[in-house]
Copies of this chain bind each other. A is one copy, B any other.
Amino acid sequence: MRVTVSVAIAGASGYAGGELARLALDHPGLTLGALTAHSNAGEPVAAQQPHLAAHPAIAGRVFAPTTPEALAGHDVVFLALPHGASGEVAAALQAVDPDVLVIDVGADHRLVDPDDWRHYYGSEHAGTWTYGMPELLHAGESSASAQRAALAATRRVAVPGCNVTAVTLALQPGVAAGLVDPGDVVAVLAVGYSGAGKTAKTHLLASEAAGAAVPYGVGGGHRHNPEIVQNLRVAGAGRDGLADVRLSFTPVLVPMSRGILATVTAPIRPGVTEADLRAAWGAAYDDEAFVHVLPAGAQPTSASTLGANTAIMAVEVDERAGRVVVTCAIDNLVKGTAGAAVQSLNLALGLPETAGLPVTGVAP
């Protein structure tokens, strides 16, 4: 690959920003440009991202302040900012450089319905960008192409939330194929702490986390709910005889830094067999580079996806309960954040979709 694409990262001192930098450094077609930060502006990059410190491209670097001037002049700008902050930066970039590819790994531009945004975030909606999940199934698709086409034609990408990615990938083949009932989905996720970000809070301390499993956002108010509903509606929920989505969603923090293991169950529609289900998941993912469906009897471990842009899942049928049980493992910072961003970048720029993205995890 001889292309040289320059990328800037806004919010490069946080966990998502650090992961974008790690992937960009290892990507054969990308050159790392500005790394900006807010409160860490002026500090050495190596102090905040010590796992990057040994790389020659990081030596001597300091964070620039997050300003339009610092971000302008690159081919791609990644936004890894707190929610609510992307809109303003994006508008400023639009003014100075309308052709730049902007990829937002934050929440601001994911939701289609402004009312959902207002309800869950309490502010005005910044608008909807092309959804950065290449594998998203549209109604009637058995494997994903419509979303790839949309990504190939856009300059504005909204990368999905990490928990949303795990649940959507886990269940969408059954919904798109009309095999499961989206009207009573239950998802419980074991999640690592890095998804909660780098801001120091007491309940995120190692002392609290060690040896503990702790649910949060229980009871329906979680901000990831409307995004999952939105995705499963794209897959076909709510039309062609399928119920609209009803979802019970509970994340549980467990003592690890990275990783999500989602357990997603939904009722199987009458007459549907295990073979039907396996065929649907196979059709959806057998040709996907970054989604791996395990053979019957095997179960994923989140450790297998560490550092990789890979989702690994298992599909099992519980006949007594009348439910399909899909377990899905991803690395929240890769397939759940920065890897999806780079995969979207590859598509938007016409690079090979898999360029620079590890498939194998760092395990054990």
Number of copies: 4
| Complex CA–CA separation, A210 to B191 (angstroms) | 13
Complex contacts, A359 vs chain B, CB 8 Å: 54-55
Out of B25, B210, B214, name the residue touching A211 (CB < 8 Å): B210
Q: How many residues of A contact B (CB 8 A)?
A: 93
Q: Does A205 interact with chain B (Cβ within 8 Å)? A: yes
Most B CB atoms within 10 A — which of A215, A258, A261?
A215
Q: List 10 A-B contacts (CB under 8 A).
A: A15-B364, A51-B305, A51-B360, A186-B188, A186-B265, A186-B321, A198-B364, A219-B318, A252-B263, A254-B255
Out of B55, B312, B361, name the residue touching A360 (CB < 8 Å): B55
Complex contacts, A3 vs chain B, CB 8 Å: none
Q: Contact residues of A with B, CB < 8 Å? A: 15, 18, 22, 25-26, 47, 50-55, 184, 186, 188, 190, 192-194, 196, 198-202, 204-216, 218-220, 225, 246-248, 250, 252, 254-261, 263, 265, 267, 290, 292, 294, 298-308, 310, 312, 314, 316-323, 325, 327, 329, 358-364
| A211 contacts B292, C-beta separation under 8 Å | no
Out of B54, B290, B299, B303, name the residue touching A292 (CB < 8 Å): B54
> A323-B248, A358-B26, A363-B51 given as contacts; is B210 within 8 A of A206 (CB)?
yes
| Complex CA–CA separation, A317 to B358 (angstroms) | 40
Complex contacts, A22 vs chain B, CB 8 Å: 360, 362
| A252 contacts B248, C-beta separation under 8 Å | no
| Complex CA–CA separation, A22 to B364 (angstroms) | 11
| A219 contacts B51, C-beta separation under 8 Å | no
| B207 contacts A198, C-beta separation under 8 Å | yes
Complex contacts, A303 vs chain B, CB 8 Å: 51, 208, 210-212, 214, 257
| B211 contacts A259, C-beta separation under 8 Å | yes
| A360 contacts B52, C-beta separation under 8 Å | yes
| B210 contacts A263, C-beta separation under 8 Å | no
| B188 contacts A299, C-beta separation under 8 Å | no
Q: How many whole Å from A208's CB to the nearest CB in chain B? A: 6
| A310 contacts B54, C-beta separation under 8 Å | yes
> A47-B298, A263-B188, A360-B54 given as contacts; is B246 within 8 A of A322 (CB)?
yes
> A22-B362, A200-B200, A292-B54 given as contacts; is B256 within 8 A of A213 (CB)?
yes
